[in-house]
Structure 1
Amino acid sequence: MNTNTKNGSLTTRARAVALAAGRGFVLALESLPGAVLGFTLSLVSIALIPIGVGLVTTPRVLTGVRAFADRRRVLAAKWGGVSIPSAYRPVPEDAKPWTRAYAMLRDPATWRDLRWLQVDMTAGFVTALLPAVVLFYPLEGFAVAAGLWRPLSDSGGYWYGFVHVTDQASALGAGVLAAAILALASPLAPRMLTTHFRLTRAVLGASESELAERVRVLTETRRDAVDTSAAELRRIERDLHDGAQARLVAMGMDLGTIEMLLDKDPAKAKQLLAQARQSSVDALGELRDLVRGIHPPVLAERGLGDAVRALALRLPLPTEVNVELGGRADAPVESAAYFAISEVLTNAVKHSGADRIWVDLHHREGMLRISVTDNGKGGAVIGSGSGLTGVERRLGTFDGVLAVSSPAGGPTMVTMEIPCELS
């Protein structure tokens, strides 16, 4: 029983060594050419930005670099148990190439990727190859001892490690050295592979300053969300006090007067009844508008796509809505997206001078993407006093991003993205 257990343990360790060697070899094969190609293309593309070509190529190249880095993150977690979180800022996919290039170059994670590529093509390549070397190099020593030394001796001998192989005796010495390497170094192969992934994490992982910046941004967006909620509550209170509540109070007074006039002046009572009925209709309409402003019933019942279509029908301009959503996002995300679209459409109607608007909603790769385009005069910017600033803050609460392309003379395209999953 003890012998079987020992044999099983040896077999398990041998498999772990062989697996680490194979994985290290695969990593080495892809790290050197991949890192060299990614780094070279990135440098060339960024250098071409001043002449305009790089504005088109840089987003594509950096997207490829991010995919290469993300694959290493997956392998680090799967093969080495090393977690390397992805910390890229969202980039609007439907924005203009120069907007995407600017957004990606402003992201500290982009420059961290470029630093990692340099490490991956040097120290990363070596640390990935080591697990394979400590397994395959002893196999070469055994082959030399088994007779491979004979054709090699024709050229003046062969050095295996520190053993100069010229005859069978020295070849056996090479075999002994190979056995020693296999016995002593091969069990370290899994640790060597883990070392490679830890080196990757040290370079590719987010720094403390970036994490602090991330916390700062999240704190600001949460504070903006609280301020927005407080302002919304004050608006609701004001609308109730000045609108529906005032009408209900007036209606109650009318009903009291009607009670006194029923016997004395039925005609006057009848007139006040009609007035009270109209007040109730007006109060009900105001309450419906208020509820729609808080959370439209169609949004809760039928989802974001139908809610935006209903919103478009109430606009004074022809608005085409295209929806490609395979499910529904969480209610807070739907609400934020709906009111962001509502604000953008309101701005377009009031300020753009457009005669047509297009709205497109779709979900791809874990991202809800919304674009609102009008054929107006352009000139929209995100800045102080702009309604787009409030939209940006609303989206920031959910790690969303806003991009605006609005050259003078138009058209204007506002692109919004919110990371989410659909149910």
Structure 2
Amino acid sequence: METKSWVRDGIHAVAGGLLAMLLSITNLPLLVLWLIALALSPVAGIGLIALPFMTVVLRARIDLQRRLAARSGVQIPRPYAPRPASAPPGGWRRYRWILTDPATWRDIAWLVPGAIIGVALGVVSLVLALYGIEGIILLPLWLYLGTDWYGYGLFWPIESFSEGLLALPQGVVILAVGLTAAPWLRWLDARFAKLLLAPTRAAELRLRVAHLTVSRADTVDAQAAELRRIERDLHDGAQARLVSLGMTIGLAEQLLDRDPEHVRKLLAEAREASGAALVELRHLVRGIHPPVLAERGLDGAVRALALSLPLPVGVEVELPGRPETPVESAAYFVVAEALTNVVRHSRARTASVTIRHDDGRLAMVVRDDGVGGADPRGGTGLRGIARRLAAFDGTMALSSPPGGPTVVSMELPCVLSSPRISPSSGTV
């Protein structure tokens, strides 16, 4: 399996190098056209339309480079400043937004050296692969075409049977070297692109502020929705029962002298109503902050939650300490929401929860063997998880191909306290 994976990765890298080489050829025409559009800027009717259009094309080309880099394991975030709210496609504000964005000029600065590096590395990976393949097939091809075809071969001419025999193992070695080197060459190309195409510190700060603004708005909305839920649950549940309880006690007070037997029944009903109200209040408190979470921590709370579900849930927790209370509560509720989605929608037979802390991040993975096909756009559960995580600068990744399995990976930045002697793990 490892050999197949190595060969597959090498072939994909060679194909990626060929694609990068072809895309790099478009860099110079894009640069020329963009500079022409910039030169036409004094002609307001043309420049105010041509430059934004060419910038859209340029950024589409740069986004393709970012996608190629991501396939090599190098993530290059988009650094562009947000477009002004009221900027028409050909307006002055959009034109000024393009020219004052440092990311635009970094894109322009990358085009020429990026083309040189992309073509050079793409040629190297492609030539190594073709050279090795030719060495492997040259002897059978030479024998098939006839021994009078002396000097046959583009990179590797042979003139005798013995030279063909030597070409075969050499071709295997060169092809192996080419397939091994191709992913590294793609990685070098991606790292070079990241030097100019990644956000600067100022751009990162700007993107960070924009992200925090959105997450803060989502957090405020989530808190408002949570308060409305608590108010609704109190009004429709415990409050209604307490009102009914008061009316029952009042009626019993009026009948105390006339009908003691009826009063006894009313008091029994009042006792049942008070018990039901107490149960509803406990459920409401658990929805705000489960007592088991405060008493036993995230480990015990998740295990207790897993025991209450109608399907077997394996739980593995490795935490050398406890997160801070707000982070611990958020972690519990996102796991609870993910497991609720499993029960409601996945038609799974089993599920599992894995929680670990590594490198300052709390990682939680909820997996099930259901039908798959989960989509954050199709319901509020996964979007709610993402919003709750975003409030703590956390992230969520979803893998749910049709037919399953579904894997929800969640991370929260956190620092643990109160270290324990040994981590716990097991299966519920």
Query: What secondary structure is seen at the aligned counterpart in 2 of 1:416?
Result: strand
Confirm or deny that 1:388 pairs with 2:382.
yes
Match of 1:316 in 2: 310
Cα distance, 1:46 vs. partner? 12
- Name the structure 2 match of 1:172: none
The answer to whether the 8 Å contact 2:373/2:403 transfers is yes
Aligned-pair distance for 1:50? Answer: 5.8
- Structure 1 residues 310 and 375: CA distance shift in structure 2, 3 A: same
Q: Is 2:70 aligned against 1:105?
A: no
Cα separation, 1, equivalents of 2:261 and 2:72? 73
Distance 1:232 1:102, change over 3 A: farther
AA at the equivalent of 1:225: T
Q: Is 1:274 matched with 2:268?
A: yes
The SS at the match of 1:421 is coil
How far apart, in 2, do the equivalents of 1:305 and 1:50 lie?
Answer: 46
CA–CA separation in structure 1 for the residues paired with 2:210 and 2:72: 22
Report the Cα distance in structure 1 between the residues aligned to 2:15 and 2:212, rounded to whole angstroms.
Answer: 34
- Residues 83-107 of structure 1 deviation map (CA, whole Å, 9 limit, x = unaligned): xxxxxxxxxxxxxxx9x85995353
Q: Secondary structure at the match of 2:376?
A: coil
Correspondence for 1:48: 13
Matches within 5 A, 1:153-232: 206-232=200-226
Q: What secondary structure sits across from 1:105 in the alignment? A: coil
CA distance in 2, matches of 1:46, 1:207: 36
The secondary structure found in structure 1 opposite 2:243 is: helix
2:392 is matched with which residue?
A: 398
After superposition, the C-alpha distances for 1:84-139 in whole angstroms (9 at most, x for unaligned) are xxxxxxxxxxxxxx9x8599535359x99xx9xx9xxxxxxxxxxxxxxxxxxxxx
**Alpha-carbon deviation of 1:365?**
1.0
Q: 1:348 aligns with which of 342, 347, 369?
A: 342
Give how far 1:306 is off. Answer: 0.8
SS across alignment from 1:320: strand
CA–CA distance in structure 2, aligned partners of residues 228 and 215 of structure 1: 20
In 2, the alpha carbon distance for the partners of 1:234 and 1:264 equals: 44
Equivalence map 1:129-148=2 (5 Å): none
**1:156-182 CA distances to partner (integer Å, 9 max, x unpaired)?**
xxxxxxxxxxxxxxxxxxxxxxxxxxx
* Change in CA separation of 1:276 and 1:106 when aligned onto 2, cut-off 3 Å: farther
Provide the C-alpha distance between the structure 2 equivalents of 1:364 and 1:310, rounded to a whole number of angstroms. Answer: 24
From 318, 336, 356, the counterpart of 2:330? 336
- Fraction of identical pairs, as percent: 55
Query: Residue by residue, what CA displacement relative to the aligned partner does 1:288-330 show, whole Å, maximum 9, x if unpaired?
Result: 0000000101112221111111111111111111111111111
- Measure how far apart 1:367 and its partner are: 0.9
2:78·2:199 contact (CA, 8 Å) conserved in 1? no
Q: Is the 8 A contact 2:354 2:366 kept in 1?
A: yes
Secondary structure of the equivalent of 2:247? helix
User: Aligned partners of 2:412 and 2:12: how far apart in 1?
Assistant: 31
Secondary structure, aligned partner of 2:207: helix
Shift of 1:45: 8.3
SS of corresponding position for 1:327: coil
Write the distance in 2 (CA, Å) between the matches of 1:49 and 1:357: 39
Amino acid paired to 1:400: G
> Aligned equivalents of 1:231 and 1:367: distance in 2?
28
Match of 1:416 in 2: 410
How far apart are the structure 1 equivalents of 2:407 and 2:324? 26
* Match for residue 297 of structure 1 among 291, 296, 303: 291
Q: Map Cα deviations across residues 175-196 of structure 1 (whole Å, 9 max, x no partner).
A: xxxxxxxxxxxxxxxxxxxxxx
Name the Cα RMSD after superposition. Answer: 3.2
Q: Which amino acid aligns with 1:345?
A: L
Q: CA deviation at 1:255?
A: 0.6
Shift of 1:385: 2.9
1:253 aligns with 2:253: no
Aligned to 2:422: none
Distance in 2 of aligned mates of 1:390 and 1:223: 13
Distance 1:242 1:310, change over 3 A: same
CA distance in 2, matches of 1:304, 1:253: 42
TM-score normalised by the chain length of structure 2: 0.53
C-alpha contact 2:76 2:197 (8 A) present in aligned 1: no
The runs of at least 4 consecutive aligned structure 1 residues that moved more than 6 Å come to 44-47, 201-205
In 2 relative to 1, CA 414–292 (structure 1 residues): closer, same or farther, beyond 3 Å?
A: same
Distance in structure 1 (CA, Å) of the matches to 2:269 and 2:339: 36
CA distance in 2, matches of 1:334, 1:103: 31
Q: Normalization by structure 1: what TM-score?
A: 0.54
- CA change 1:278–1:103 in 2 (3 A) is farther
Alignment of 1:40-119 (within 5 A): 48=13, 105-107=75-77
Distance 1:365 1:354 in 2: 32
1:151 is matched with which residue? none
Q: Which amino acid counterpart does residue 210 of structure 1 have in structure 2? A: E
Task: Note the C-alpha offset of 1:384.
Answer: 5.2
Contact 2:399 2:407 in 1 (8 A): yes
SS for the counterpart of 1:317 is coil
The letter of the residue matching 1:48 is A
Q: Say which one has the larger Rg.
A: 1
Deviation at residue 51 of structure 1 after TM alignment: 6.9
Give the distance between the partners of 2:249 and 2:214, measured in 1 at CA. 51
Alpha carbons 2:77, 2:199 under 8 Å: kept: no
Q: Deviations over 1:7-64 (max 9, x none)?
A: xxxxxxxxxxxxxxxxxxxxxxxxxxxxxxxxxxxxx989729679xxxxxxxxxxxx
